[in-house]
Structure 1
Amino acid sequence: MVKLFHPAALAGAGNSAVSVPAGIPVRPAKPRDHAALAVLAAASFAQGAAALLPAGLRARADAARFEELFATGGPLLLAGPRALPWGCILAEAAPPGAATARLTGLWVAPAATGQGIGSALLAALEAALASDGVTALRVRVPSGHLRALGLFRRRGYELQAAGRRAEPVLGVTLPHSVLAKALARDLDRDAA
């Protein structure tokens, strides 16, 4: 396995690991959570995707950019305690009745990686979207971000395309892989 690190993430993350319980709590984020989630997302981005960027772009991926992104709306979920969250996931706000939703980003605190937080967040978002009638979820992953690509592949996402796409945080065009997954509806809930 390849693990990507950016010096800024290592400097800001500390060396203390987070102990995550087996049942990872996931819930919708509130506007008051945005500042803490923006700091978490910036640290996660610095550890992962930023390592693939030219040095001049790395510094632009600060917490303020993530806070702006979170303010645009769309489902935003967080994992862990509100005071010190372990991760968050954001999807674009889809128009009512849209069949396909698009994942904006998935970020896990550097000290909490490898403990199932990304999978728990992704599963919760998939379930929420499916219950709203969304039948598929698409995600853009920076090409070369092997950890993220592995997560989505393990969760059943299939490669749809590769090429240059707009990166939502920095607003620049970068090489990305596009993956998608059909979402299963909860038939028991629909029958009730």
Structure 2
Amino acid sequence: MPTPLKWLFKVFDTLIVVGMAVISILVFSNVVLRYGFSSGISAAVELSRVILVWVIFLGAVAGLAKGAHLSVDILIARLPQKARFVCFLVAQGLMLWCCWLLAQGSWALTRIEWGNVTPLTGLPVGLTYAAGLFAAVMMALVILIELWGALRGTLPSTWGGAHAQEASMAVDPALTQEKIQ
């Protein structure tokens, strides 16, 4: 995780937990009210949807910052250090491009939909799309910080080879042979 932003990602983690708690309370309350009392919270579905979208995008940013996204490093682990560095630069460049595309599309949709409001809560529909814009900017910031660190000589652990342990292809015959008596 980028050191300059650790405090921010702790805030994100807190917002994710609070968001999930609010969603759980809204949905549970709505179910109990509908089935138990033939009523309900009319805005619960819309509010839950908006919060869920924000929680997902905040989680994606936090996952990127922590290096928790799925990665397959079987090829990278076998490359020499300079080749790993080049692959890192290419991968980060591609991720920045994806962040640009996400930001561009989210910004366009946010602008288009900001004037429309949801029927029950009155929230702007563009608020949902703004989550993608926010996530794209934050992910780009994380990537740029990692690039800056790499250019100063510190690759993230997966790319640096810290977890790269080559599996032994040889099998100890004493472990596989059964005693025949």
- TM-score, normalised on structure 2? 0.23
More helix by percentage = 2
Structure ID, larger Rg: 2
